[in-house]
Amino acid sequence: MAMTGVLRPGHAQVRVLDLEKSITFYRDVLGLVETGRDKQGRVYFKCWDERDHHSYIIRQDDRAGIDFFAFKVLDSATLDRLESDLKAYGLATERVPAGDLMETGERVRFELPSGHLIELYAEKTAVGNGLGLTNPGPWSKDAEHGIAPVRLDHSLLYGPNIEGVRKIFMEVLGFFLVERVLTPEGDANAAIWLSCSHKVHDIAFAEYPEPGRLHHCSFLLDSWEKVQRAGDIMSMNAVSVDIGPTRHGITRGSTIYAWDPSGNRFETFMGGYQPYPDYETITWTFDNFGQGLDYPQRKLHETFLTVVT
């Protein structure tokens, strides 16, 4: 599959309540690699197997949640074209100058009908994964530090008008709809899973009355055993777990949902099938949403629908 537009999730900037406690959590428990700190007080992290400078940024605030979620695009010409397409669609865009984020080029920022800020960018400094590009080993020294996910995989965001959001991602940004959950009435989408790649999803949205809310950022692990190990590490460090370890019906992924010290939910995730853009969308009726979320228990956990930051 030729990827000529939006390539993949690039970074998320998340607000935390206690910066030092959060640095310790993300570095030592989740096992991210710290790559920098800037004059604004933001701390930058990457997963061990990611090549770019950062994928997860935290800053201190009196309210937890997400500032923005970003996608990397193919090149500067693609960034210009997508900005033009967004404007033609009727969306206001903002050019954030290069260097505003460490080691990152110009970003195009726009707001979704759900109240979320999305960014597109083409350039970020490559720092590698510690293995080199000639005769590399299968893992680095950071691969066994903490939970040690291999990449930032996706985010689930809650807000209003996800139908408007779906149209922007599909009609302007070139994503395709992989799966959806219908409302109880069956006449609209309650949640949507969208992909720009060969992954089962790169971003997802659920209908929610309050705008701009974060449900979770998800970090990819490469086996079910690593998900189980993540659960062990969470218990060893008294991390508050929401759901799991279990398996989704939606996406078929295996998962644990838990909360960071500020109450931001995160996911350790693996698996899922590999869709192509010509695949037909999979539909879940609302009465089977519980099975879609937690396939073994067939349970729609209340926290999944109500606890967001």
The CATH number linked to 102 is 3.10.180.10
Say which of 201, 207, 208, 215 is annotated catalytic: 201
Per-position pLDDT tens, the chain of length 309: 567 899 999 999 999 999 999 999 999 999 999 999 999 999 999 999 999 999 999 999 999 999 999 999 999 999 999 999 999 999 999 999 999 999 999 999 999 999 999 999 999 999 989 888 998 989 888 778 999 999 999 999 999 999 999 999 999 999 999 999 999 999 999 999 999 998 999 999 999 999 999 999 999 999 999 999 999 999 999 999 999 999 998 999 999 999 999 999 999 999 999 999 899 999 999 999 988 898 888 988 899 889 999
Looking at the fold, whether 106 and 164 belong to one and the same domain comes out as no
Looking at the fold, whether 164 and 281 belong to one and the same domain comes out as yes
Looking at the fold, whether 31 and 120 belong to one and the same domain comes out as yes
Has 144 been annotated as catalytic?
Answer: no
**Domain end (from 116, 143, 170):** 143
**Domain end (from 97, 118, 143):** 143
Has 216 been annotated as catalytic?
Answer: yes
Structural domain includes residue 174? yes
Has 11 been annotated as catalytic?
Answer: no
Looking at the fold, whether 88 and 121 belong to one and the same domain comes out as yes
Looking at the fold, whether 59 and 194 belong to one and the same domain comes out as no
Rounded to an integer, what distance in angstroms lies between the CA atom of residue 107 and that of residue 99? 10
Say which of 119, 154, 207, 215 is annotated catalytic: 154
When divided into structural domains, the chain yields a total of: 2
Has 116 been annotated as catalytic?
Answer: no
Looking at the fold, whether 161 and 300 belong to one and the same domain comes out as yes
Is pTM beyond 0.85? Reply is yes
Structural domain includes residue 167? yes
Looking at the fold, whether 40 and 16 belong to one and the same domain comes out as yes
Say which of 11, 116, 215, 216 is annotated catalytic: 216
Looking at the fold, whether 70 and 193 belong to one and the same domain comes out as no
How far is the CA of 111 from the CAs of 94, 155, 164, in angstroms?
10, 16, 12
The region, left, alpha or beta by phi > 0 then psi within -120 to 50, assigned to residue 196 is alpha
Structural domain includes residue 248? yes
Q: Which residues of 69-101 are buried (b: 16+ CB within 10 A; e: fewer)?
A: bbbbbeeeebbeebbebbeeeebeeeebeeeeb
132 Cβ partners below 8 Å, 6+ apart? none
What is the extent of the structural domain holding 241? 151-306
pLDDT in tens, 150-199: 999 999 999 999 999 999 999 999 999 999 999 999 999 999 999 999 89
